Structure 1
Amino acid sequence: MAAPVVSSIAPTSGPTGGGTIVTITGTGFTGAIAVGFGSADATNIAVASDTQVIAVTPAGSSVANVTVVTAGGRSAINPAALFSFSAPAATGGATPYYIDPALTSTIVGSLVNVLSAQTSPDALEAQNILMRRLALEGDVVGSRVPPPRNITEIGGYLNILGELKEGAMREQTLAGILGVAGPLQAQGFISNATPLSMVALPNDRPAGAAQPSIPTSAYVRSDFVSAVQAALKTLHAAGATLPLIGPSVITLPKGGPGAAVPANVLAYLGRTLNIAPQTALAAPGTDPIALIRASGTTDLFAAAANAINPATTPVTPANYDALQCTATTKATVPLAAASFVPLAPVLGAAGFYQASPPPQPANATDLAWATFGNVTGLVAGETLLGDELTLLHRPDAIAASVFASLLNAVWNGATFV
């Protein structure tokens, strides 16, 4: 095994008492067992990679050559890797208003050892944060701002938090000042990862006047993807399509004074499918989607996909009445020998259902008919809104949302109360 090579260090100086965190860059550091600062070894080391080692300086004086020791031997002395020990600058006897608490070598070593022995996702993320901070900043605590000395400085800090839209942190700060219990914050390290996500599927964009306005992707919650794909396969086999609309990222409505809870909570849980409304109600005979009922009946109109494309499992034609709407009016038009696939049974097999009874639009701007909801896995009297929100949203986003005070709301079979 070849000896390691040290190419540079940062920082290049520190106090004689030791305790400076130094990042050593070079090659062959895998399995490093010691870092030397002259004749003394570092009090603690952490091997970040084959090209980077982090070490805590021992006490020293003057200038020391920095070397790394592995099973292949000790690295050669490099004039570009010299560490200068120097006494702290005199302060003239005046005690500064605020001294940032430095980490001792013992604390750093213990922290590194604890984290390196853990394998949980939170611990791995903590390792990444710590190593990145040590490599870029040379410390862990040094970025903390001094505590405010008076009410003016407190106001300034609160204003900054408001401008940065850090609502949860601002509320917690105010609670601390007032000596009352603040909003419950997530414990440990906040991760960007959530158990579920919104997944992009290729969207149906049938030819026609509405095609340019139909998005190229349809977004479905990750645990519902396979069921929705099966529904689309059924419709495509019949020569029908299902154009959908919806956001790629679901953003929770902000909380605060006067903020109202949305009526359709399922939409913020990724539990809805929305048919592109521009694909229906204009020309039922050729629109991709229509609201139909059996000809000559008084049944409620129900959403159906128009089977107007070549099919491997053709639909038997029948006579229907269909809704035709403008922005202010609606009318019933007859359709003879038309082929439609009712959406209720197809989407129901995927877990998505319309409201019951099916909404009947009064005009083209009445869009309730286009939404199908999914309540799969929601147990009446047991499922909590907070548990559902955490499947798709970060804890800090939930804490800043209109749902923050409703996390213990329970599903009653129709909504969370």
Structure 2
Amino acid sequence: MSTPSVSDAAGDALVLALTDVIKGASGPEIQQAQAMLLRRLATQGDVIPSRIPAPRNITEVGGYLNLLTELGETTMCKGMLGAALGLAASVPADDGAGGTVPPLRLVQIANDRLPSPAGDGVPLSVGVRQDLAAGLQAAVADVRAAAGHLPLWGPPAALPAPTGGTGPTPDPLPYLGREVWVAPTAALTDPETDPIVLGRASTDPGAGYRVGVRVADGTAEAESADWVGLKWDAVGGAFLEAGIGTVTMLALEKAIAATPFVSRPLTAVPPSRGDYAWARMVAVAGLLPGASRLGDELALVWTGDQIVQSAYADHLDAVWDGAAFV
């Protein structure tokens, strides 16, 4: 039995080190390299063994070159010569595998799922734009450390398909990684036990409603006060107010104050159980009214192929007006 040489061991160690660097690094350049390596594994190399024997001498190499030249396979001829010399083939970044890697990406952050039937509708993770994710993840963790829950909801991690003119174009903010929701199943069922309450405290000015997160006494920025929470009446088909006594609540806007996301209070009762405006958390930093184009924002996180096959293909020139792309 042969013993691996020192040079073989050193080479193996170098390959493992390079693999760890590629796996652990981040950034658009590394993503581009990762995509290229995966493409080459799928289409080149020894993933599919060669159907012809390796050339044994220069004469056989010349024979292959002559054959490919006669067949007009110039590209294959160059690739064969490079392979014989041990050189990596030149593969363009946009070789039909989805286009160039966007400068940013949607990252999945771990969700805070509820230990009750209300958690059934809460996804395991939600997608947020790469540069907006860390703060939101920290906010979820902080609420959890305060014995509370801040479960989130987001759309599927794919752009919506064209509507064919049969319906409105979906709001693009969630697909830009700029909007997530408080999971609707965490509220509006029973304000006395729901981890999330849509209501108001006795100390609140006015008659509107805001989102409160139930947390432990003594939590920083939280307040203990008498609360009224909204509860959906399935029989009457409307929301009712229910007093829940003195509770310690952390206002949602305070829970996410250190993140790029903001939440807006409601001035009136939601018109229906399916109206989730109260649950929206949006991050619009960097969107300049009258200047920011939808196509440019999509290109930050999606490839060109994905965009042109989506519901937004005909709306790329829509411009941000301060509230929406129009």
Task: Tell me if both proteins adopt one fold, taking TM over 0.5 as the criterion.
Answer: yes
* Alignment deviations for residues 326-373 of structure 1 (CA, whole Å, 9 cap, x no partner): 341211122322011110233243122235656732343332211222
Shift of 1:316: 4.0
Residues 240 and 341 in structure 1, CA contact (< 8 A), matched pair in contact too: no
1:302 Cα deviation after fit:
0.5
Counterpart-to-counterpart distance in 2, 1:264 and 1:334:
35
Stretch moving more, 384-393 or 213-222: 213-222
Secondary structure of the residue that 1:200 maps to in structure 2? strand
Gaps of 5+ in 1: 1-8, 13-22, 27-34, 44-54, 61-87, 89-100, 130-187
State the alpha-carbon separation in 1 of the partners of residues 103 and 174 from structure 2: 17
Q: How does 1:18-417 map to 2 (within 5 A)?
A: 24=54, 36-37=58-59, 42=62, 56-57=65-66, 102-104=72-74, 108-109=77-78, 125-126=91-92, 190-191=98-99, 193-254=101-162, 256=164, 258-262=165-169, 264-295=171-202, 298-308=206-216, 313=220, 315-327=222-234, 328-355=237-264, 357=266, 360-417=269-326
Q: Secondary structure at the match of 1:37?
A: helix
Q: How far did residue 102 of structure 1 move?
A: 2.8
Change (3 A) 1:201 1:268: closer
How much has 1:111 moved relative to structure 2?
A: 11
Letter in 2 for 1:222: Q
Higher strand share: 1
C-alpha change, 1:316 and 1:58, in structure 2 (3 Å) is: closer
Question: Which amino acid is 2:73 matched to?
Answer: L
Q: Distance in 2 between matches of 1:25 and 1:284?
A: 76
Question: Which whole-Å CA distance do the structure 2 matches of 1:414 and 1:247 have between them?
Answer: 20
Determine helix, strand or coil for the equivalent of 2:92. helix
Distance 1:104 1:298, change over 3 A: closer
- Which whole-Å CA distance do the structure 2 matches of 1:59 and 1:314 have between them? 74
Give the AA of the match of 2:254: P
Counterparts of 1:189 and 1:255, CA distance in 2: 25
Relative contact order (alpha carbons < 8 A, sep ≥ 6): 1 or 2 greater? 2
Q: Which runs of 5+ in 2 are unaligned?
A: 1-48
User: Residue type matched to 1:210 in 2?
Assistant: A
Q: Which residue does the alignment assign to 1:5?
A: none
Residues 10 and 110 (structure 1 numbering): CA distance in 2 closer, same or farther, change over 3 Å?
closer
Shift in CA distance, 215/408, structure 1 to aligned 2, threshold 3 Å: closer
Contact 1:252/1:401, CA 8 A, preserved across alignment? yes
Provide Cα deviations, 1:271-317, integer angstroms capped at 9, x if missing partner: 11111111101111210100121227642110111115x87658442
Contact kept in structure 2, 1:197 and 1:392, CA below 8 Å: yes
Partner SS, residue 300 of structure 1: coil
Asked if the contact 2:209–2:267 (Cα under 8 Å) also holds between the matched residues in 1, the reply is yes
- Mapped to 2, the partners of 1:204 and 1:399 lie a distance apart of 34
Asked if structure 1 preserves the Cα contact closer than 8 Å seen for 2:199 and 2:209, the reply is yes
Cα deviation for residue 376 of structure 1 reads: 1.6
User: Matches of 2:263 and 2:102 in 1, distance apart?
Assistant: 28
Question: Per the alignment, do residues 265 and 359 of structure 1 end up closer, same or farther by CA in structure 2, a change over 3 Å counting?
Answer: farther
Once superposed, which parts of structure 1, at least 4 consecutive aligned residues long, lie more than 4 Å away?
Answer: 9-12, 110-113, 310-314, 355-359
The change in CA–CA distance for 1:333 and 1:356 in structure 2 (over 3 A counts) is closer
Task: For 1:109 and 1:253, locate their aligned partners in 2 and report how far apart those are by CA, in whole Å.
Answer: 40
Q: Which one has the bigger helix percentage?
A: 2
Residues 112 and 407 from structure 1, CA distance in 2 versus in 1: closer, same or farther, beyond 3 angstroms? farther
Q: Which amino acid aligns with 1:318?
A: A
Distance 1:217 1:57 in 2: 56
Post-superposition shift, 1:10? 5.7
SS of residue in 1 equivalent to 2:54: strand
With normalisation by structure 2, the TM-score equals: 0.69
Give the total of aligned pairs. Answer: 272
1:264 partner letter? D
TM-score by length of 1: 0.55
Give the SS at the match of 1:24: coil
| AA in 2 matched with 1:37 | T
Q: Deviations over 1:364-403 (max 9, x none)?
A: 3332211222112111222111111112222122112232
If you compute each CA radius of gyration, which structure gives the higher value, 1 or 2?
Answer: 1
Provide the identity percentage.
29
Secondary structure class of the residue paired with 2:73: coil
Shift of the alpha carbon at 1:261?
A: 4.4
**Structure 1 residues 349 and 127 mapped into 2: Cα distance closer, same or farther (>3 Å)?**
closer
